[in-house]
Amino acid sequence: MSTSVLRRYTPPTCTLEIAATGSALSRWTDRMVLKNLRFYLSFDDPKLPSEKQVTIKGDRTQLEALCEAVEAYVQTVLNQPSGQLSLLNQPSNSVESANPVNLSQTDLHKFVEAGIYLQPKGLLAHELCLGSLASEESGATIRLTVLQLFDLANALDEYHAEALILPALGRPAWLKSPAGWARAAAALVLAVGATSAVARFVMDVSNPTGHLAATNRQVEITGIQSPPEAPPNLPAPPSPPAISPLPLDPNAPLLPPKPSGEGQPPIDPNSPASISAVPVDQLPAPKSLSDPSASIPTTDGVTTEIPAPTEAPVATLPPEFAQPDIARTSATAIAPIAPLSPSAPEIGRDEARINDPLADAPIESPPVLTDETPVATTGGTVFDTYPQVAEVRQYFEENWQPPDELAQLNQALQYRLILNADGTIERIIPIGRAAAQFIDRTNMPLMGDPFVSALEDRDQLQVRLVLNPDGKVQTFQEGN
Amino acid sequence: MPSTIKPDTPKPAWEELTLAGQPDPSQLDNIKAQLDLVLLALEALAKVGSEAILQAAADLNLTDVVADRVSLWRLRQSSPLRRGQGRKRLDVEEARALVLIICHLAKQQQELIRRAVALLEQLTEQDREPHQAALLGDYLDTFNNTYQERMEDGERTPTEQLTNLALKLLIDLLFYSAPNGTRRLWLALLDRSTRS
């Protein structure tokens, strides 16, 4: 099959194009299955001649790394109290300090393999370090204005919301299909630690679910309880912190004006970037840097694409989701490059998010090596490398009572739980809108409360939790 | 096996959305102050008045929280930066309502916000003062005046600092006008409120 452009996002200052090859596996599924996803991102700077316009391109892993880097960075910038920004403009700060050295090591390694990150170059300019995306034409870095960063973030966010990497084919039919069996074989192969090359081969042959799927947006809104902007969209705050002073206290040093006196352009590298002084490890963003499983082109990246052969979320997809969204594709493809063009697609996208139970699911983290059939009684499966994974499952098997509203939504709730060495919860990351909305119904332990037994040989463990509307609970380890 | 599991406790719906329970008072104070400032910036730039805010509340079905001018005023007045006594406590629900309202309004005003940021970029690049563009000049003047009028320390705060605060808020507003603006604002509020 030929490669075709699936989506084109065209905010005013950049164009993001997603292309992929339709897979022959599509005939096994009721949705479009795509492979070889590529993306092309060009920055449209009217001040530059066309031959100097930068285009970068890469594969899905790189795109996800880019998504994550941009999202995390934007949030870091926003988290920055204005008082601290004064540092931004102290010319004494060296350019080196603008390096993301202030990212904690744990955060840094998350996307260091793709090498994609951003760093501030003053209040109004940002430098995108392309890492593995760099080419001769693009150079190692691209300077972005605020508006360019804004548009890029929106385009990536829109892509992220639309792109579905199915965590599982889900329908019982998978067992009947050759692909399904092969996928089970792939999981086994991985379980015994086969090389990634073998795994990749098996997966490529067999696994349609690791690929991007176009979804149908033409779904009526049914069973949705919340308006598009309902509070559930907002993640929960972190555990009670130490009392902190007001960052916006006007007595605190507010930033002096942008150092225009030195004739510096806004993207002057001498505008020392103190935004990087923000400890990014405080980012509470669900899709934040701290997700080790996300979109890292690791050598075992293959395993991150192995889907959970569960019946979990996808099983609940209404058949309407099966069709590729032709209307939507064309709509985005012809989106005008007018300054306000984001608004129109955005409305559609919001709807799409409501309509699509999986739209919010992060595409980067299909679970790794899941338990195919969660053992409800003992809590142990062959895939439970760590007993804590089973303990989490057991806890929720005892405490998870699906609310009626969820049954109407017919949607599973997914959370990423990061466990501390002592067995408490370090972070709870709801995956998707519904997960955030219903988090209060999950009987989720509070962060810091005793939860499972202590980890023996590691500092952290990341567990994906799937709470199904039928009361079934699944857990699996994520990351390494 | 899971001997240390926390006992099951029933939880009320709304405030437990925070997982950690009600933020402590200093966190809420912090959040109040930030929300008030973001609204101030919106007002200064887009001349968004209480009428528009109340309309946004109505659009978002938030009239329970922001019913009328009085309740709006009391919400705003809950900022610890404000002049005056007898502040009301802002609770999490109110904070979230304000987040939704702010982002709703920012979305409505996105074109204007974008234009202002574009002008700021342009002027800075040309090494010119932001005041030289009428839109930015008006914004900065209005912001500074309103701040000095309403805030306890308003008269003591140097204009330069206020200008920078206003410009930072302007750029923030751009990002809050995006589809995921509510999430960004909420996370920023929480992050800042927990930072020491």
Contact B147, B38 (CB under 8 A): no
- Cα(A254)–Cα(A306) distance, rounded to whole angstroms? 49
Residues 57-76 of B with CB under 8 A from A: 60-61
Query: Tokens standing for A148?
Result: 């360019």
Phi and psi angles of residue B62, each rounded to the nearest 5 degrees, phi first:
-115, 20
- Cα(A214)–Cα(A147) distance, rounded to whole angstroms? 29
Q: Name which of B170, B32, B98 is nearest A249 in CA terms.
A: B32
Query: Which residue type does A130 have?
Result: L
- Looking at A220-325, list the stretches that DSSP marks H as alpha helix, in order from N- to C-terminal side: 301-305
A259 in helix, strand or coil? coil
Give Cα separations from B83 to A200, B77, B79, B146, B162 (angstroms): 64, 8, 9, 12, 17
Contact A227 B192 (CB under 8 A): no
To test the contact with chain A by mutation, choose from B63, B100, B153, B192 the residue with the greatest count of A C-beta atoms within 10 A, namely B192
pLDDT tens digits, one per residue of A52-89: 778 899 988 889 889 989 999 999 899 887 654 432 34
Question: Is B8 touching A (CB cutoff 8 A)?
Answer: yes
Of A233, A248, A440, nearest to B37 by CB-CB distance is A248
Burial of A61: CB neighbours in 10 Å, binned 0-12, 13-18, 19+? buried
Contact B121 A232 (CB under 8 A): no
Of A399, A446, A450, nearest to B4 by CB-CB distance is A450
Mean pLDDT of A31-45: 76
ipTM above 0.95, yes or no: no
Q: What is the pLDDT of residue A35?
A: 67
Contact B183 A235 (CB under 8 A): yes
Of B107, B179, B184, nearest to A78 by CB-CB distance is B184
Burial of A257: CB neighbours in 10 Å, binned 0-12, 13-18, 19+? middle
Contact B17 A282 (CB under 8 A): no
Q: Name which of A229, A77, A71, A227 is nearest A155 in CA terms.
A: A71
A232 in helix, strand or coil? helix
Residues 6+ apart with CB under 8 A from B156: A250, A251
Contact B8 A398 (CB under 8 A): yes
| Res. A292: pLDDT tops 50 | no
Of B110, B156, B165, nearest to A82 by CB-CB distance is B165
Residues of A in Cβ contact (< 8 Å) with B169:
82
Contact A124 B171 (CB under 8 A): yes
Contact B98, B39 (CB under 8 A): yes
pLDDT tens digits, one per residue of A216-262: 333 333 333 334 444 444 555 444 444 333 333 334 333 333 333 33
| Res. A101: pLDDT tops 90 | no
pLDDT tens digits, one per residue of B117-148: 999 999 988 888 999 999 999 999 999 999 99
Contact A237 B178 (CB under 8 A): no
Q: Name which of A155, A107, A202 is nearest A7 in CA terms.
A: A155
Kindly list the domain boundaries of chain A, sorted by start residue: 165-173+214-235+300-478
Residues of A in Cβ contact (< 8 Å) with B1:
379, 387, 390-391, 394, 453
DSSP code at position A356: -
Phi and psi angles of residue A155, each rounded to the nearest 5 degrees, phi first:
-65, -45
Locate the chain A residue with the closest alpha carbon to B36: A248
Phi and psi angles of residue A357, each rounded to the nearest 5 degrees, phi first:
-60, -20
Residues 39-58 of B with CB under 8 A from A: none
Q: What is the pLDDT of residue A451?
A: 83
pLDDT tens digits, one per residue of B68-96: 888 787 777 777 777 765 556 667 788 88
| Res. A371: pLDDT tops 60 | no
Greater confidence, A140 or A102? A140
Residues 160-189 of B with CB under 8 A from A: 160-165, 167-169, 171-172, 174-175, 178-180, 182-188
Query: Which residue type does A463 have?
Result: V
> Exposure string (b/e) for B20-50, b if CB count within 10 Å is 16 or more?
beebbebbbbbbbbbbbbbbbbbbbbbebee
A425 in helix, strand or coil? strand
Question: Is A272 touching B (CB cutoff 8 A)?
Answer: no
Residues of B in Cβ contact (< 8 Å) with A282:
191, 194-195
Residues 6+ apart with CB under 8 A from A355: A217, A219, A220, A221, A224
DSSP code at position B4: T
Residue with tokens 């002592």: A422
